[in-house]
């Protein structure tokens, strides 16, 4: 059984065959005389043209998705590296603040920033006794991590009493602001990436549907087309080009 599921040269050849028979009065008359109708050929042609247009849209969506992915991953990796470096300084600066007898509320605020508070989701699972239980699981999606990094950066900016301690360790307000800016800018890019991926999936599914629809009409009408081809070399050539080519494995013996 053929596995023709996407737009390729076979689909294009079938589209071309139907279009050429429709365009040539004598070929269409021959097809009609064998019991075929115009809707057969129009279906093969229209489904094929739709598959081609959708395939082009699919390629464009893949290109857009690829570009968005490269942008997101490159900037996200750099953001994570910077965030890790900044939080390492915050961890060390926490001891500096304790030694300087900083107010307890300041130390508590720093502790809350140091703790990973990434967004959590509730998942249901079955324990060993067969009972249903719920458990909070930290999300590790790029968006959850990006949001955590942006939130921590803003929280540090909102604690001016520790800025002098951080600045001594080369993390000043400008550096924190830059980190927050990058983290916030990635939010839109993550959405663009998700939309591009969604467009890819929709286009791929639509291409498959159009190819399947053309294949259904082609298979149903093939004997009529072959009968015309047996009388006309032009149609025979078109049918030859439109035949599904199965890959054959050579056997050694």
Residue 246 domain-assigned (yes or no): no
| 251 occurs within a structural domain | no
Determine the longest span between alpha carbons in the chain, in angstroms.
100
In a domain, 195, yes or no: yes
Distance between CA atoms of residues 101 and 98, nearest Å: 5
Question: What digits encode the pLDDT tens for the residues 122-135?
Answer: 556 677 777 766 55
* Rounded (to 5) percent helix, strand, coil in the chain: 75, 5, 20
User: What is the DSSP secondary-structure string of 39-103?
Assistant: HHHHHHHHHHHHHHHHHHHHHHHHHHHHHHHHHHHHHHHHHHHHHHHHHHHHHHHHHHHHHTT--
Tokens of 179: 């980190």
CA distance 50 to 209: 10
pLDDT tens digits, one per residue of 20-30 = 999 999 999 99
On whether residue 4 sits in a domain, the answer given is no
**Rounded distance between C-alpha atoms, residue 180 and residue 163, angstroms:** 15
Q: How far is CA 178 from CA 33, 113, 147, 173, in A?
A: 75, 18, 15, 9
Q: Specify the number of domains making up the chain.
A: 1
244, 4 contact by CB (below 8 A): yes
Residue 228 falls within a domain, yes or no? yes
Q: Report if residue 31 sits inside a domain.
A: yes
Closest CA to 179 of 86, 54, 253: 86
- Give the torsion through C-alpha atoms of 213, 35, 23, 56, to 10 deg: 10
The per-residue pLDDT for range 172-229, each reduced to its tens digit, is 999 999 999 999 888 867 666 666 666 667 778 888 999 999 999 999 999 999 999 9
Q: How many residues does the chain have?
A: 253
Residue 29 lies in a domain: yes
* pLDDT confidence band for 251 (50 / 70 / 90): very low
Q: Kindly state the percentage of the chain with pLDDT values over 90.
A: 54
Report yes or no on 2 lying in a domain. Answer: no
What pLDDT band is residue 250 in, cutting at 50, 70 and 90? very low
Average pLDDT score over the chain? 83
Range of the domain at 235: 9-241
CA distances from 45 to 8, 48, 108, 213, 230 (A): 14, 5, 70, 11, 21
Please, which pLDDT band fits residue 253 given cuts at 50, 70 and 90? very low
**Cα 145 from Cα 116, distance rounded (Å):** 10
Please report, for residues 23, 39, 65, the alpha-carbon distance to residue 207 in angstroms, rounded to integers and kept in the order given: 25, 21, 18
What residues contact residue 114 under an 8 Å CB cut-off, 6+ apart? 87, 90, 91, 94
DSSP 126-140: E-TTS-EEEEEEE--
């Amino acid at each position: 059984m053929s596995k023709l599921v996407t737009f390729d040269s076979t689909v294009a050849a079938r589209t071309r065959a139907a279009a050429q028979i429709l365009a040539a009065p004598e070929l269409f008359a021959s097809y009609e005389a064998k019991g075929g109708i115009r809707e057969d050929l129009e279906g093969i042609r229209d489904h094929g043209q739709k598959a081609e247009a959708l395939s082009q849209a699919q390629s464009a969506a893949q290109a857009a998705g690829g570009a968005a992915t490269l942008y997101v991953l490159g900037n996200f990796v750099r953001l994570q590296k910077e965030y890790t470096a900044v939080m390492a300084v915050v961890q060390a600066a926490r001891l500096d603040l304790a030694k300087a007898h900083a107010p307890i509320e300041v130390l508590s605020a720093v502790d809350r920033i140091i703790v990973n508070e990434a967004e959590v989701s509730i998942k249901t699972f079955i324990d060993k006794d067969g009972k249903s239980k719920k458990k909070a699981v930290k999300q590790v999606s790029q968006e959850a991590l990006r949001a955590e990094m942006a939130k921590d950066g803003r929280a540090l900016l909102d604690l001016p009493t520790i800025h002098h301690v951080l600045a001594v360790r080369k993390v000043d307000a400008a550096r924190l602001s830059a980190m927050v800016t990058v983290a916030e800018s990635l939010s839109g890019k993550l959405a663009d990436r998700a939309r591009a991926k969604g467009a890819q999936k929709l286009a791929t599914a639509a291409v498959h549907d159009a190819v399947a629809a053309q294949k259904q009409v082609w298979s149903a009408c093939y004997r009529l087309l072959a009968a015309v081809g047996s009388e006309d070399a032009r149609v025979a050539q078109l049918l030859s080009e439109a035949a599904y080519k199965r890959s054959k494995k050579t056997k050694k013996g």
